[in-house]
Amino acid sequence: MKIELKKFGEMLISRPAGREAFLAMSAYLIKDLDKNAEIKIDFNGVKVLTPSWADEVITKLAEKFKNIKLLNTNNKSVQATLRTLKKYSGLKFISTPSISCKDSQ
């Protein structure tokens, strides 16, 4: 499953908007997927990503699914936010152009 974050906007900036995005994904995109399904999160077209939005979406997806791949993470805002998530959420991120993450548990 590939999730194109640009469909939620170019500027992903608030916790309430992130919560709403995750609920939409849960209702329509990921509701019947197995926890071992590969989830590709594509950041192409995202100009601004804040830790609060990402925590509501990326962290929750990584808690729900074991095989998360992050694509097109070259944007400085995306990179800074992913570093923040790595530091505070307990998730492990591998720093490559297509970053992979796994739940640290």
CATH of the domain at 72: 3.30.1370
Residue ranges making up the domain that contains 27: 2-103
Instruction: Kindly give, in sequence order, each residue whose CB lies less than 8 Å from that of residue 74, ignoring residues fewer than 6 positions away.
Output: 97
Over residues 28-46, the pLDDT tens digits come to 989 899 999 999 999 999 9
18 contacts: CB under 8 Å, gap ≥ 6: 12, 52, 53, 54, 55, 56, 57
User: What pLDDT is attached to residue 89?
Assistant: 81
Please give the tally of structural domains in the chain: 1
Q: Give the model confidence (pLDDT) of 36-87 as tens digits.
A: 999 999 999 999 999 999 999 999 999 999 888 999 999 999 999 999 998 8
* Model confidence, pTM: 0.84
- Does the structure show a pLDDT above 60 at 98? no
* Nearest to 99, CA basis, from 40, 13, 51, 35: 40
Torsion angle, alpha carbons of 46, 29, 90, 17, to 10: 50
Both structure tokens of 66 = 């074991």
